Structure 1
Amino acid sequence: MRNHIPDRKCGRVLILVMDGVGVGELPDAEDFGDTGSCTLGNMAEAVGGLNLPHLGALGLGNIIPLLGVPPVDKPLAAYGKMAMQSPGKDSTGGHWEMMGLTLQTPFPTYPNGFPSDVIIPFEERIGRKTLGNKAASGTEIIKELGLEHLETGFPIVYTSADSVFQIAAHEKVIPVPELYRICKTARELLTGRHAVGRVIARPFLGEPGSFWRTPRRHDFSLTPPGSTLFNSLSGSGYQVVAVGKVNDIFAGSGVTSSIPAAGNREIFLRAVDAFKKLDRGLVFATLVDFDTLYGHRNDVKGFAKALEEFDSWLPALLSELRQGDLVVFTADHGCDPSTPSTDHSREYVPLLIAGPGVRPSFLGVRSTMADLGATLAALFGVEQGDGTPIQGILEKGKVITD
């Protein structure tokens, strides 16, 4: 047992990030073209109401007006919402900020494609020309350029409103290991003013007219430029378990164990299994389907159905909680499927903190997502990064001791 943190207030924490599930535009949303965005609220209106009884009981409907999810008199969780201070609306910045590392300058973006001082050295290093080099939907660009890719063997390079350098290739033309090698080359080149947040491998299969992306996507992220809660926890002997793409987002920094998983169901099940096996520490999982399958494709009904499925899984998790456990439900940004844009949206994110020792209360509107990391650092008794700990979450006497 660990005895050098005698006032530790929690033993096990599970963070479940509902990727893209924002709860309303931030004050500067207009600067990002996101005026009127409210992923959760607009979706609920569009489908005539959401059926989320378990998230509703925790207090989701107390955060914002939500058709089908009314506020409850006695929520089971502490609830509120958080603003993103980092200048952007991307997954990397959102994840880093909630773990205590706030970006001061935005990652570079390329709405008009990558300049010649990026593309030419990249093509020289990989020994191939490239196709595309523009901002585009991933599914649309393989429809547009997939046949030419099959004929030439040239990888498809594209970006989005986020700071990403994406490389799509048919697995029978460029095998996945080779695609990963190409992505690593791009990651090595994209430094300094071109240090994009992520280089993403986007393998696909199929024939012209019926291409489909395979689950062997892989993200090659920048290493966080400073310490996060992951580093504080692992450096103090706690376990930090990253499920799914989380290890990639943090480039493995501070992670003690990584569990691969794809799709909401598998990610959730593996996260819960890891949480059950956890001794002391953190399990962090991001449920990606909300964003990748529905938000970016403006699929309002699919998004709503996925949320309702996720809600139906929660009783099995919540029944496993023991004294000293916390489960956090939040998001990393918005991705409103009801707007014309297919990109992320600059929004507040929800915050629900549940557990046997939690005092149900309104946590307010937090000025930064880093308050979550600061709160957990205080409860674990480790060094904190940016943000301010939220006071009064735990009931008196709910302290874990060795």
Structure 2
Amino acid sequence: MDKDVIDVNRVIWIVLDSVGMGAMPDAHLYGDVDTNTLGHVYNMNKGLSLPNLTKLGLGNIEGMQELDKADQPIGTYARLGELSKGKDTTTGHWEMVGIHTEVPFPTYPNGFPKEIMDAFEAAIGTKTLGNCTASGTAILDELGEEHMKTGYPIVYTSADSVFQIAAHEEIIPLEKLYEMCEIARNLLKGEHEVSRVIARPFLGTPGNFTRTPNRHDYAVTPPADNLLVYAKEKGLDVIAVGKIEDIFAGQGVTYATHTKSNEDGIKQTIDLIKKDSHGLIFTNLVDFDMKWGHRNDWENYGKGLEEFDRYLPEIMAAMKEDDLLIITADHGCDPTTPGTDHTREYVPLLAYSKQLKEGRDLGTRNSFADIGQTVCEIFGLQPLKIGESFYSQLSK
């Protein structure tokens, strides 16, 4: 390896879930023309205070017209296009580690077909409620009381490829809910293989239902040819923070911790940075997507970006000399659009190390897998089937 390239012992990889930065050229195929999650949130809030992201080069990324530019960015920066078909969480994260999804996971805007629901109800021994596309909180307001009266679980989906089952923990115990999810996971095969089955437990009374932290995801197992598996096989740490473990069905993960909020995820990541490890700390901050993007809450989306920016100096201070920080996203979810779906957008790439002599503009790149390919080169792992490494551009 070129002696001028930075030495890396550990990669701290943070995914700002849904923080896209402008429609991709094929966005019209997804109904997402003129979407721009980051730019529109910035404009709707009449500006945001993002001094640390700005310093890294966020505003200097190609196509990022709305944000301020840094005169001398300290980070290396780019925008990444998505090679895979789709715009969901699983597809985006899978591509980052080298998995090319050529056929999108199925979605069900009109609910699941009768043969699926009949088979599911027969397997669990009870009828169901819902079978529609809905917000996770709105569906509780609509059907929570009926669920408590009948004991029937609530089945719903979203713009994502998901089969979600909501149940009150005092009506259907967690163990039973998880069993129902496993039944659904085994049923949903072939053309109906959704990317995730999700248990959505809740508590409370009509008008005051709240989802509990006992959510559990049952994801499709990813193909074995991916960065996380290669890293684990080589004996590297693969530390998953937030829903990373769920997205990869635990595959290639050596340690996992789940989170209650963006702030909790940031704090847990900082604590992990301060400890000794060798390999990956892979974090997903889901509130941007789950709490604000899907709910068209551009105001709190902006506050969330400002919160992350405030924590950046603490993240960077905790880093060791041979740590590499990578900040990116997995898709867009523009909260200023009429719909609540994910949006087909470019995503930002920011890379920072205390060894970096100067930041560089890497322009527009073709795949999220450029990150994974870079990590493979850093650690001497088997190359991925897609993606182009930018390790040689990280000069000290």
Band of TM-score, shorter chain: over 0.9
Provide the secondary structure at the position in 1 that maps to 2:363: strand
Instruction: Give the one of 123, 130, 133 matched to 1:132.
Output: 130
Corresponding pairs, count: 389
What does 1:276-315 align with in structure 2 at a 5 Å threshold?
276-315=274-313
| 1:8–1:379 Cα contact (<8 Å) kept | no
| 2:80–2:347 Cα contact (<8 Å) kept | yes
Q: Give ranges in structure 2 of 5+ residues lacking alignment.
A: none
Q: Which residue of 2 aligns with 1:380?
A: 379
Q: Which residue of 2 aligns with 1:115?
A: 113
Provide the rounded CA distance (Å) in 1 between the counterparts of 2:299 and 2:213: 22
In the TM superposition, residue 321 of structure 1 has moved relative to its aligned partner by 2.1
Q: Which residue of 2 aligns with 1:239?
A: 237
Deviations 1:14-42 (A, max 9, x none): 11100110000111111111111100000
In the TM superposition, residue 58 of structure 1 has moved relative to its aligned partner by 0.5
Provide the rounded CA distance (Å) in 1 between the counterparts of 2:60 and 2:15: 19
What does 1:225-264 align with in structure 2 at a 5 Å threshold?
225-264=223-262
Q: Which residue of 2 aligns with 1:266?
A: 264
Give the counterpart letter for 1:222 in structure 2: V
In the TM superposition, residue 205 of structure 1 has moved relative to its aligned partner by 1.7
Q: Which residue of 1 aligns with 2:51?
A: 53
| 1:232–1:384 Cα contact (<8 Å) kept | no
Match status 1:392 vs 2:392 = yes
Give the counterpart letter for 1:50 in structure 2: L
Instruction: Choose 207-216 or 101-110, whichever is displaced more.
Output: 207-216
In the TM superposition, residue 118 of structure 1 has moved relative to its aligned partner by 1.1
Instruction: Give the one of 306, 319, 322 matched to 2:320.
Output: 322
Q: Which residue of 1 aligns with 2:211?
A: 213
What stretches of structure 1 move > 4 A for 4+ residues in a row?
Answer: none
Provide the rounded CA distance (Å) in 2 between the counterparts of 1:375 and 1:65: 24
Provide the rounded CA distance (Å) in 1 between the counterparts of 2:347 and 2:217: 23
In the TM superposition, residue 116 of structure 1 has moved relative to its aligned partner by 1.7
Provide the rounded CA distance (Å) in 2 between the counterparts of 1:289 and 1:122: 31
Q: Which residue of 1 aligns with 2:150?
A: 152
Q: TM-score, normalised by structure 1?
A: 0.94
| 2:143–2:154 Cα contact (<8 Å) kept | yes
CA RMSD of aligned residues (A): 1.4
In the TM superposition, residue 8 of structure 1 has moved relative to its aligned partner by 9.6
Provide the rounded CA distance (Å) in 2 between the counterparts of 1:316 and 1:136: 38
Provide the secondary structure at the position in 2 that maps to 1:356: coil
Q: Which residue of 1 aligns with 2:185?
A: 187
In the TM superposition, residue 391 of structure 1 has moved relative to its aligned partner by 4.8
In the TM superposition, residue 11 of structure 1 has moved relative to its aligned partner by 0.4
Provide the secondary structure at the position in 2 that maps to 1:319: helix
In the TM superposition, residue 393 of structure 1 has moved relative to its aligned partner by 2.6
Matched residues, percent identical? 50
Provide the rounded CA distance (Å) in 2 between the counterparts of 1:13 and 1:391: 12
Provide the rounded CA distance (Å) in 1 between the counterparts of 2:329 and 2:169: 32
In the TM superposition, residue 378 of structure 1 has moved relative to its aligned partner by 0.6
What does 1:59-78 align with in structure 2 at a 5 Å threshold?
59-63=57-61, 64-65=63-64, 67=66, 69-78=67-76
Instruction: Choose 18-27 or 137-146, whichever is displaced more.
Output: 137-146
In the TM superposition, residue 172 of structure 1 has moved relative to its aligned partner by 1.4
Give the counterpart letter for 1:47 in structure 2: N
In the TM superposition, residue 130 of structure 1 has moved relative to its aligned partner by 0.7
Provide the rounded CA distance (Å) in 1 between the counterparts of 2:190 and 2:163: 15
Instruction: Choose 256-265 or 232-241, whichever is displaced more.
Output: 256-265
Q: Which residue of 1 aligns with 2:80?
A: 82
Deviations 1:274-332 (A, max 9, x none): 22223210010100111111101100111101110111111111112222210111000
| 2:273–2:318 Cα contact (<8 Å) kept | no
In the TM superposition, residue 354 of structure 1 has moved relative to its aligned partner by 0.5
Q: TM-score, normalised by structure 2?
A: 0.95
| 1:8–1:380 Cα contact (<8 Å) kept | no
Q: 1:391 to 1:317 in 2, by over 3 A?
A: closer
Give the counterpart letter for 2:394 in structure 1: L
In the TM superposition, residue 79 of structure 1 has moved relative to its aligned partner by 0.4
Provide the rounded CA distance (Å) in 2 between the counterparts of 1:283 and 1:159: 30
Q: Which residue of 2 aligns with 1:203?
A: 201
In the TM superposition, residue 66 of structure 1 has moved relative to its aligned partner by 5.3
| 2:273–2:319 Cα contact (<8 Å) kept | no
Provide the rounded CA distance (Å) in 2 between the counterparts of 1:272 and 1:182: 36
Provide the rounded CA distance (Å) in 2 between the counterparts of 1:76 and 1:100: 27
Provide the rounded CA distance (Å) in 2 between the counterparts of 1:32 and 1:382: 35
Match status 1:346 vs 2:344 = yes
Provide the rounded CA distance (Å) in 2 between the counterparts of 1:363 and 1:140: 42
In the TM superposition, residue 100 of structure 1 has moved relative to its aligned partner by 1.0
| 2:76–2:394 Cα contact (<8 Å) kept | no
What does 1:141-180 align with in structure 2 at a 5 Å threshold?
141-180=139-178
Provide the secondary structure at the position in 2 that maps to 1:81: strand
Q: Which residue of 2 aligns with 1:100?
A: 98
Instruction: Choose 376-385 or 42-51, whichever is displaced more.
Output: 376-385
Provide the rounded CA distance (Å) in 1 between the counterparts of 2:258 and 2:106: 28
Provide the rounded CA distance (Å) in 2 between the counterparts of 1:269 and 1:146: 34
Give the counterpart letter for 1:229 in structure 2: L
Provide the secondary structure at the position in 2 that maps to 1:339: coil
Deviations 1:203-245 (A, max 9, x none): 1122222222222211110110232110111111111001121
In the TM superposition, residue 252 of structure 1 has moved relative to its aligned partner by 0.8
Q: Which residue of 2 aligns with 1:367?
A: 366
